[in-house]
A and B are shown apart, each in its own frame.
Chain A
Amino acid sequence: MKTAVCIKQVPVFSDGKMDPEKGVILRDGLVSAMNVYDLPAVETALRLREEAGGTADVFSMGPLQAADAIREAYAMGIDQGYLLSDHAFSGADVLATSYTLAQGIKGAGKYDLIICGRQTTDGDTGQVGAAIAQWLHIPYAGGVTAIISRKPDSITLQQRLDDEQVTVKMSYPCLIAVDRSIYISRMKSLPGKIAARKKGVAIITLQDLEDHDPQHYGLSGSATKVEKIYPPERTHKEPIMCLNTADAVNEIMKILENSKAV
């Protein structure tokens, strides 16, 4: 069975590095790691390989340093990693990113199952998986919380759709997006980590893809454009209210009414 996992290298935040006033990420010391939602996706692929044999590869799109995220996957036991990296790919939105990944996967071989994480910690959109499935004309199921069973030509899984749990069967090839809770991902082993440093990552550039028209990738191939970014409105901190019960309750009711959460 041939499985592919889409992963992304993202910045990892620690309080001190985000300027809350300007809403800007402070330079230097930005640590990058594999998107934490992708770890269970890699784990799913590894477990399927343990059960069914075959191979488990990863694909990623990013600058050359994203190879580090692929090495993290190697240390977990992934077979082959592909990094789609080219100046032409940069500035891509979901449309262009998913197209690039789809092209890369198509060019690398025939995969039975493609697995994505639920979302990324930087973009938070959770759409790339479904979009890749659309480009590849294969069925898609998101919110997967468990793999129920696996046959040589199909897979049965459990999805969580808001307040419903659905059991669905799909034939290969297909694409699934797994929920973070599906598995606790394994730790990298020491021999795995040592070997990963020396293992090669296949770099795929624009010219390597079947469609090498730069207009279809990166900024050109994107349909959305970020016009501007600005810091978010923070909830204003009020001074202490020392009120009688009736007034206190009225104030709280006002806050609740304005809150989008209730």
Chain B
Amino acid sequence: MPGYTIDRNICTQCGACRKQCPFSCVEKTDGVYVIGDGCTACGVCAEICPVKAVIWQEAAHEAFDKISWKNILVYLEYHHGIVHPVGIQLLGKALELAASCGCEVYGIVIGENAGEAKPQLLLYPLTSVFLYEAQENFASDLYEQLLSDCIGKLRPSIVLIGGTAQGRSLAPCAATRFRTGLTADCTGLSIRDKDDLVQTRPAFGGNIMAQIITPNTRPQFATVRLNMMEPARKSEAASVAFITCASAHPAKSALEILDAQSLAPEKDITRQKVLVAAGKGIRKKEDLAMLEELAVLLGGELASTRGLVEKGWIKSDRQIGLSGHTVRPELLITCGVSGSVQFMAGMSGAKNIIAINQDPEARIFQIAHHPVCGDLYEIIPELIRQLKAAKSK
């Protein structure tokens, strides 16, 4: 069995490995240090051991014919006649990876009237797009079967799928079928040694970054969420071949779709990636409309401090704080919020905080990543104007 083990003859029992193991799995029994269950082979102990007593033991692996798997396949999610923007972003990344290793990029579209995706794709410099006709409504078993059919024929080294609801079932099902590795929600991808995909993602609620590879099997699957990567650039020189395909053994889905309805986007402030929070710097209730507008422009929602909720200006489901909601958005813009301890306890986990307040002593500036001392009544309208201008371009 492969794994890290501690050579008792070399170990000096300094305990550094036990102290540093991020997964708390170095055990000490009767003075002897042993790597126990739960080891993920992250290698921290091996690095930190001052006497190099932690060693890696290989296991015999059947040689996997990696060389015959080449190129990158991108799943272009297609629904209601639109190629999902995450697909274009994956294309962007794929083209970048392909350039670094001299291989080609392919796409696959599965859905009803798949051919209608052509005009949306023909200006991107990929080699071919495989079109598979299937029912409009996503059924994981059906779509996965077609995706795997394509993979079986193309034998790509890398398969990239969007981290969407579809992707979340498609990717693990396909990866399991091929008995290969999948890293979900990658924040970074690069190629090493011409073929190995280096996959980076956060773990433990974002407290750790992990760098992962798929050493012995192919294809290398990775999913990436929306807006993590830059979209592909169109090219005059593009000449995509569109190939209509079908599975040799079409199957019937075991999922019977009875109904599908589009849903209004989530309003729950705890599920938002972007929040605009109003504080007592807002002089009257009507002024909240301007912050709401900003929130909508940024694809987020309006939230508030306790004070405004108790004044009756905004509903209590919008309240951030100890006696309200705890939020962890990617981006939080506070407007006229002074930053009471109660408020800050509810949002200190936000990844990126822009705070706008006229008072340079405002407590919120102690935790804001971008403290902006200024008048929100001048900054916000101008910001909205510029955002609208940028959008219309």
Contact = CB atoms under 8 A, between A and B. Distances in A.
Direct contact, A vs B (beta carbon within 8 Å): yes
A230 B179 CA distance: 28
B322 interface: no
Contacts of B180: 95, 223
A256 B169 CA distance: 32
What 6 pairs between A and B have smallest CB-CB spacing?
Answer: A223-B181, A261-B330, A224-B181, A127-B172, A139-B254, A161-B165
Given A24-B22, A127-B182, A256-B387, 20 more contacts: A95-B175, A98-B172, A130-B169, A131-B172, A142-B165, A164-B263, A168-B256, A224-B183, A228-B210, A231-B209, A232-B207, A241-B370, A241-B372, A242-B373, A245-B379, A249-B386, A252-B333, A256-B331, A259-B331, A262-B274
Contact of A253 (B20, B37, B383): B383
A214 B378 contact: no
A226 interface: yes
Contacts of B211: 226-230
B173 A232 contact: no
B259 interface: yes
Contacts of B205: 13, 121-122, 124
Nearest to B137: A166
B39 interface: yes
Interface in A1-29: 11, 13, 18, 20, 23-25, 27
Interface in A117-168: 121-131, 133-135, 138-143, 156, 159-168
Contacts of A197: none
Interface in B309-367: 329-331, 333, 351-354, 356, 360, 365, 367
Contact of A124 (B23, B43, B185, B370): B185
B173 A131 contact: yes
Nearest to B268: A181
Interface stretch (B102-110, B119-127, B149-157, B212-220): B212-220
B70 interface: no
B168 A130 contact: yes
B37 A245 contact: no
Given A166-B259, A240-B365, A245 B181 contact: no
Contacts of A131: 172-173, 175-176
A240 B360 contact: yes
Contacts of A169: 255-256, 258
Nearest to A17: B207
Interface string A156-190: 10011111111111110010000000000000000
Nearest to B79: A164
B155 to A, nearest CB: 16
Contacts of B118: none
27 contacts: A23-B22, A27-B19, A27-B24, A98-B172, A121-B205, A122-B205, A124-B202, A127-B184, A130-B168, A161-B138, A164-B261, A168-B256, A223-B175, A224-B183, A226-B42, A228-B210, A229-B44, A229-B211, A230-B211, A245-B375, A246-B382, A249-B382, A253-B387, A253-B390, A259-B352, A260-B228, A262-B227
Interface residues of B, number: 106
A151 to B, nearest CB: 12
Interface residues of A, number: 96
B176 A98 contact: yes
Given A95-B175, A142-B169, A242 B360 contact: yes
A124 to B, nearest CB: 6
Chain A at the B interface: SS class: mixed
Contacts of A93: 181
A191 interface: no
Contacts of B237: none
Contacts of A159: 165
Contact of A238 (B21, B185, B255, B371): B371
A164 B255 CA distance: 16
A55 B130 CA distance: 46
Interface string B233-260: 0000000000000000000011111111
Interface of A: 11, 13, 18, 20, 23-25, 27, 30, 62-63, 85, 87-91, 93-95, 98, 121-131, 133-135, 138-143, 156, 159-171, 174, 214-215, 218-220, 222-233, 235-246, 248-249, 251-253, 255-256, 259-262
Contact of A167 (B44, B169, B215, B258): B258
A236 B369 contact: yes
A162 B373 contact: no
A102 to B, nearest CB: 9
Nearest to B217: A223
B31 interface: no
Contacts of A244: 374
A90 B354 CA distance: 43
B197 to A, nearest CB: 10
Given A133-B173, A223-B214, A229-B209, A139 B255 contact: yes
Given A127-B184, A165-B260, A248-B379, A23 B209 contact: yes
A67 to B, nearest CB: 13
Contacts of B44: 24, 229
A225 B42 CA distance: 8
Contacts of A227: 43, 198, 211-213
Given A124-B203, A232-B202, A248-B379, A166 B257 contact: yes
Given A130-B140, A162-B165, A227-B43, A220 B1 contact: yes
Contacts of A87: 37
Contact of A168 (B23, B168, B203, B258): B258
Given A249-B379, A252-B372, A260-B227, A127 B329 contact: no
A149 to B, nearest CB: 10
